[in-house]
């Protein structure tokens, strides 16, 4: 076997392992959502109380994610990846055994501690171990896996198990899937291994105290722009996932199945766009151009949905196009972040900028909820368009940061 063929096989295995781990992280993030009606009846609590579980999860994950990057750089991303899958799967399994609502809260915190390691661990492994000519596709599979995790959570947990065997069985089966994944990843851990202290040996400047590093990071315009980008994109995603269906019902008096079809088309097209974006990123190195074009088109189409009265069938088509172009931006965006990252600090940087996702996810419901309560249903989609447009400025700043690092 040639060296090139061996490298290609290793790349495929690494991408598959990391992509599946990322799928599971998103799968477990949505584990409880489809079960809320059943949990409300079981524990006699309000939806607000159940929402607190999600807020607690994202809050803890966001705070810890930046610090998880420090551990990734010091002790190896492969170890943290295993920890993340094992912790989330175990906590979700025990959620299925919870005797009361109050037990779910500490389990959500434990699950968040597992979730916080994925982005710094995943993206460090891909950045360091995947061949440069495949890095765009590697980031694409990573993003595609996360999107599939969101889609599969209700399919597997609710429709596949809970609908006939109860919510407890649904969560326990979900946890068991994670344990099988842990065994698979552990069996192939050698291909993921990143030796302890490797970053410090390669880049002595990265061994400076972490507090000092983060002080420097907070003054890095490019990486702060990346943090803002993820916050905007996550907030827009929450607006689409949580409020678009209800908004369409209110605006057009659309039947629920048709309103839901719009969201389904958007999410499905986003997943396809991510894969297409990976091919583009590997074939055309103009990553900032790809990302800004996708954001411009996505924001424009979402503005049309917000401002123009159209048949729902046309809106579904527009949402699919918008989702596709937003998906295209994902691999190029990750490559730009990678390019703006100082040597030896991949885990810390990806951990920090991706914590913007948790900030956007935790705060967006307040904005979109107030718009819905005020009857501003079209403004929901205009707000989403504005958030995508704001991402354009972040991409342009990231481009400057990548050039600066490359020139050093």
State pLDDT tens for residues 167-203.
999 999 999 999 999 999 999 888 887 655 444 444 4
Architecture of domain 1-196: Up-down Bundle (1.20)
Conformational region of residue 375, where left means phi above 0, alpha means psi within -120 to 50, and beta covers everything else: left
Residues 6+ apart with CB under 8 A from 17: 184, 185, 188, 191, 192
Structure tokens at 64: 């810890």
Measure the CA–CA gap between 380 and 364, rounded to whole angstroms: 11
Are 68 and 351 in contact, with CB atoms under 8 Å apart?
Answer: yes
pLDDT at 2 over 70: no
Measure the CA–CA gap between 97 and 83, rounded to whole angstroms: 21
Are 172 and 93 in contact, with CB atoms under 8 Å apart?
Answer: yes
* SS3 label, residue 342: coil
Measure the CA–CA gap between 91 and 111, rounded to whole angstroms: 6
364 vs 103, higher pLDDT: 103
**According to the model, what pLDDT value does residue 102 have?**
95
Measure the CA–CA gap between 368 and 372, rounded to whole angstroms: 6
**According to the model, what pLDDT value does residue 40 have?**
84
Q: What is the mean pLDDT of the chain?
A: 84
**According to the model, what pLDDT value does residue 172 have?**
96
Are 274 and 328 in contact, with CB atoms under 8 Å apart?
Answer: yes
- Lowest-confidence pick of 118-132, 309-323, 349-363: 349-363
Q: Which pTM value belongs to this model?
A: 0.76
2 vs 281, higher pLDDT: 281
Structure tokens at 134: 């495949």
**According to the model, what pLDDT value does residue 281 have?**
87
Q: What is the DSSP string of 30-96?
A: TSSGGGHHHHHHHHT--HHHHHHHHHHHHHHHHHHHHHHHHHHHHH-HHHHHHHHHHHHHHHHHHHT
The structure tokens 């659309």 sit at: 254
Among 317, 159, 160, 147, which Cα is nearest to 237's? 147
Most confident of 2-11, 16-25, 334-343: 16-25
Cα 102 to Cα 42, 53, 106, distances in angstroms: 13, 10, 8
pLDDT at 145 over 50: yes
348 vs 356, higher pLDDT: 356
**According to the model, what pLDDT value does residue 56 have?**
86
State pLDDT tens for residues 76-118.
788 889 999 999 999 999 999 999 999 999 999 999 999 999 9
Structure tokens at 63: 């705070």
Residues 6+ apart with CB under 8 A from 209: none
Kindly state the DSSP code that residue 344 receives in the 8-state scheme.
T
Q: What is the DSSP string of 278-296?
A: HHHHHH---HHHHHHHHHH
Q: What are phi and psi of 344, to 5 degrees?
A: 80, 5
Are 280 and 290 in contact, with CB atoms under 8 Å apart?
Answer: yes
Residues 6+ apart with CB under 8 A from 229: 333, 353, 356, 391, 394, 395, 398
Provide the percentage of residues in the chain whose pLDDT is more than 90: 33
205-403 and 1-196 share a CATH fold: yes
**According to the model, what pLDDT value does residue 405 have?**
47
Q: What is the DSSP string of 171-221?
A: HHHHHHHHHHHHHHHHHTHHHH---TTHHHHH-GGGGS-HHHHHHHHHT-H
Q: Sign of dihedral through CA atoms 26, 31, 35, 40?
A: negative
**According to the model, what pLDDT value does residue 19 have?**
92
**According to the model, what pLDDT value does residue 195 have?**
55
Cβ burial of 246 (10 Å; 0-12, 13-18, 19+) is middle
290 vs 58, higher pLDDT: 290
Average of pLDDT values for 236-265? 84
**According to the model, what pLDDT value does residue 380 have?**
92
Are 277 and 140 in contact, with CB atoms under 8 Å apart?
Answer: yes
Structure tokens at 259: 């309103």
Q: What are phi and psi of 329, to 5 degrees?
A: -70, -25
Average of pLDDT values for 198-222? 58
185 vs 357, higher pLDDT: 185
Among 371, 52, 56, 364, which Cα is nearest to 231's? 364
Domain residue limits, the chain: 1-196, 205-403
**Domain covering 205-403 in this structure, CATH number:** 1.20.1250.20
State pLDDT tens for residues 7-57.
556 888 999 999 999 999 999 988 887 788 788 889 988 877 887 888 788
pLDDT at 266 over 70: yes
């Amino acid at each position: 076997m040639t060296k090139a063929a061996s490298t290609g096989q290793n790349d495929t295995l690494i991408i598959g392992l990391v992509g599946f781990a990322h799928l599971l992280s998103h799968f477990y993030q949505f584990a409880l959502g489809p079960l809320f009606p059943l949990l409300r009846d079981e524990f006699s609590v309000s939806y607000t109380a159940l929402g607190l579980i999600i807020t607690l999860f994202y809050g803890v994950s966001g705070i810890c994610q930046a610090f998880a990057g420090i551990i990734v750089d010091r002790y190896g991303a492969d170890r943290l990846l295993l920890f993340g899958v094992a912790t989330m799967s175990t906590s979700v399994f025990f959620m299925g055994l919870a005797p009361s609502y109050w037990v779910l809260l500490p389990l959500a915190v434990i699950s968040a501690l597992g979730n916080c390691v994925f982005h710094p661990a995943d993206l460090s492994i891909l950045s360091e171990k995947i061949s440069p000519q495949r890095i765009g596709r590697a980031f694409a599979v990573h993003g595609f896996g996360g999107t599939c995790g969101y889609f599969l959570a209700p399919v597997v947990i609710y429709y596949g198990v809970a609908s006939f065997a109860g919510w407890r069985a649904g969560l326990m089966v979900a946890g068991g899937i994670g344990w099988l994944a842990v065994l698979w990843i552990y069996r192939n851990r050698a291909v993921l291994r990143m030796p302890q202290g490797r970053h410090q040996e390669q880049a002595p400047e990265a061994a400076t105290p972490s507090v000092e590093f983060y002080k420097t990071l907070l003054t890095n315009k490019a990486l702060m722009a990346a943090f803002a980008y993820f916050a905007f994109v996550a907030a827009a995603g929450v607006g689409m996932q949580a409020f678009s269906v209800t908004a369409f019902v209110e605006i057009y008096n659309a039947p629920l199945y048709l309103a839901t079809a719009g969201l389904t088309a958007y999410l499905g097209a986003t997943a396809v766009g991510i894969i297409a974006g990976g091919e583009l990123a590997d074939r055309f190195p103009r990553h900032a151009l790809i990302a800004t074009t996708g954001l411009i088109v996505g924001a424009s189409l979402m503005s049309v949905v917000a401002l123009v009265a159209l048949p729902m069938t046309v809106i579904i088509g527009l949402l699919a196009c918008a989702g596709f172009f937003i998906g295209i931006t994902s691999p190029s965006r990750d490559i730009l972040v990678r390019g703006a990252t100082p040597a030896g600090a991949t885990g810390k940087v990806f951990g920090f900028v991706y914590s913007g996702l948790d900030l956007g996810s935790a705060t967006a419901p307040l904005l979109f909820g107030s718009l819905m309560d005020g009857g501003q249903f079209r403004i929901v989609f205009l707000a989403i368009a504005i958030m995508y447009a704001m991402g354009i400025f972040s991409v342009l700043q990231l481009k400057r940061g990548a050039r600066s690092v490359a020139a050093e």
